Amino acid sequence: MAISADEFKAALATRAGAVAIVTARAGEQVHGMTVTDWAGVSVDPPLVLVCTDKSSNTLEVIEKGQCFAINVLARGQDALSNKFASKKDEWTRFDGLDVEQGPTGAPLITQAITSLDCRVVGAHDAGDHWIYVGEIQYAALRGGEPLVYCGGAYRGLAVEDA
Ligand SMILES: Cc1cc2nc3c(=O)[nH]c(=O)nc-3n(C[C@H](O)[C@H](O)[C@H](O)COP(=O)(O)O)c2cc1C
């Protein structure tokens, strides 16, 4: 291999990413997990993508329900991010959380600064991950500063005067 797994992780740790919880619904089943591998793809039509590990339970629900929502966390919501990343009690992640439903039914987390409710329009096999492309059906823009993950740590944005 041109690059070891450790080198790959070290290289990617230099990238700052906005932390989000990707949620999904298939009938009565809801699930979600913490992600930083999500991105905007297209303005017209409005498309975003999310990369999900093939071993993830959330992937199963996205696949079954053909929808997902990207909920961008606010600075300081480290505990919420850790809860949705931990395998401990993973089926109780939504307990006590305030959510609403948009057109697809994927949970929209009202404490998030942004929620993007998406219908799956593409799925791409990419190594040990799947890339899901979603067309935004509804967006809630609540405002606030994002929670950033970089170098294995949660951070806020440092705004410097010009
Ligand atoms: C800051 C952070 C970012 C993460 N980003 C991703 C990601 O982009 N894609 C992914 O598949 N897992 C990501 N994970 C790992 C998942 O959140 C974790 O494996 C989770 O337990 C999966 O849950 P599930 O199997 O119930 O879906 C991330 C974890 C953390 C803490």
- Per-domain boundaries in the chain: 17-150
Beta bridge partners of residue 53, listed in sequence order: 129
CA angle 11, 17, 23 (to 5 degrees): 120
Ligand 1 pocket test, pick from 8, 12, 33, 75 with the greatest ligand atom count within 8 Å of Cβ, gives: 33
pTM here is: 0.96
Which residue minimizes the CA distance to atom 16 of ligand 1? 85
In angstroms, the CA 79 to CA 58 distance is 19
Strands 99-101 and 107-109: antiparallel
Residue 21: which pLDDT band, with cuts at 50, 70 and 90?
very high
Task: Kindly give the number of the ligand 1 atom that is closest to the alpha carbon of 90.
Answer: 26
Task: Kindly give the number of the ligand 1 atom that is closest to the alpha carbon of 154.
Answer: 1
Query: Ligand 1 centroid to 27 CA: how many Å?
Result: 23
User: Is the model more confident about 157 or about 23?
Assistant: 23
- Domain 17-150, CATH among 2.30.110.10, 3.10.310.10, 2.40.50.140, 3.40.920.10: 2.30.110.10
Task: Kindly report, residue by residue over 90-131, the tens digit of the pLDDT.
Answer: 888 999 899 999 999 999 999 999 999 999 999 999 999 999
